[in-house]
Structures are given as structure tokens and as C-alpha cells.
Amino acid sequence: MALHQSIEALLPRLEALSLAEGLRLVAKLFPGKVVFSSSFGQEDQVIADAIFRQKLPIRVFTLDTGRLFQETYDLMDATRARYGATFETYFPQTERVQQLVQEKGFNSFYESVENRKECCGIRKIEPLKRALAGAEVWITGLRGEQSENRADMAMLEWDAANQVLKFNPLIHWSYDEVLAYLKENRVPDNPLHRRGFISIGCGPCTRAIEPGEHPRAGRWWWEASKKECGLHAG
């Protein structure tokens, strides 16, 4: 059965399972072919906790754009120490970053949506494609209420751009449920969350949000867009 044809059979099973059970199932059904991408946000820390505590055979990786907050790097080390686990780190291609900076400077992403997407493409999209090479299932920390683009996403869907099944185990979770899990299981998270940073990306492209603002309003706040970098464009 082709990967994209397995959604109809798998989705009802996954919908009926807990987070831990769902992760165990995909790891069993796709041995050695399941990966989890973490940006070390609160949702990702929930999933990482479930993976690491169960010692599941799921490859965990992160994308280091070279412009992350110091607090994010600190959390990476804290997570590694907490679980005694390792994760792979993928970096942008040095030559492409050098060319971008030489031609357009360090902050070209502020000048237009096109420039910002170019930067995201170099620092995120290309490294992601390398990280997903050989995978059949890509686990993400997406939640439906995070943005309009994500509201209609299913727990399991076919990612045509990357030719993988995308498993979104928290897609129906509320933010309160995420916070409750973190507290109950004493999962480390980023201290920036307590300073108004709900969605955290690169330092230059993320600001704290004001009370009442959408959780992703602080991402690329200077532009009117769907607030997506292209990793989960749908």
C-alpha cells in the first residue's frame, strides 16, 4: 500500500489513542522511518517528553537557523540533560547564507515578504528537506488553534511537498491542555513563554505579544501574512 493511501486506515486508529499510544503505534508500523522535528516550543516539548520517556525508536531533530534566542539553546541543553537523550541538529548551507548576506545584508527579511521567505527557505526549508530524507512519517507539534492555516489540518495527512505522512498528534489539543501536560510532567520549557513569547522562532523575527493578541502575532509582526515560514504551508 502506498504511503498516502494508508491515511484512511490509520487516521481512525490514531484519533482514538492517547499521545503516548499514538507515538508507539507509528513507531511500530514504520520501524526506522519515523522522525520528529522539534523547535523546542511548548507543544514540541510535550511530544519530546512522550518520546524520550518511552525510549521510542523515533529520530528527533531540530533546525538551527543560526539566529535563535539564547534561551532556546539553553533549553536544548536542559532537555538533553533531563532525558539523557540526543537529537540531531541541521544547519543551513554555509555558502547560501554567505551569499544571501553578501547580496542583501543581515536583515533583508524586514524589507519584503519575498525576502523573508527567501531567508526562511535558506535557513529552514532546505535543512528540513535534508532532515526528512528517507523518512516515511514526520511528527510535528502543530495545533489547530495556532493559526487559520492549521485549523483544517488533520491528525494524519499526506505532505506532498516532502512526500511523507505528517502526523500531528496534538492537532486537537488546546493551549491549556499543553500547559497542563507540561506542569503535570515537569517538562522543561522556554522561559520566554513567561515573558509574552508564545510562539518562538528566530530572534529577529519574534516579539512578545500583547494581551488579547493572537498567539502567532509576534511572528514576523511587521508584515501582513499567514504567519508561516513554509515548513507547514499545507
202 vs 36: CA distance, rounded Å: 20
Based on DSSP, count helices (H) and strands (E) in the chain, helices before strands: 9, 6
Catalytic-residue membership of 202: no
Angstrom CA distances, 26 to 4, 37, 91, 167, 200, stand at 14, 15, 27, 9, 28
Catalytic residue among 119, 202, 205, 229: 229
Angstrom CA distances, 126 to 61, 71, 88, 185, 209, stand at 14, 24, 15, 34, 29
CA 78 distance to own-chain centroid = 18
Question: Which segments of the chain are extended strands (E)?
Answer: 34-37, 59-63, 88-90, 137-139, 156-159, 164-167
CA 191 distance to own-chain centroid = 18
Catalytic residue IDs: 229
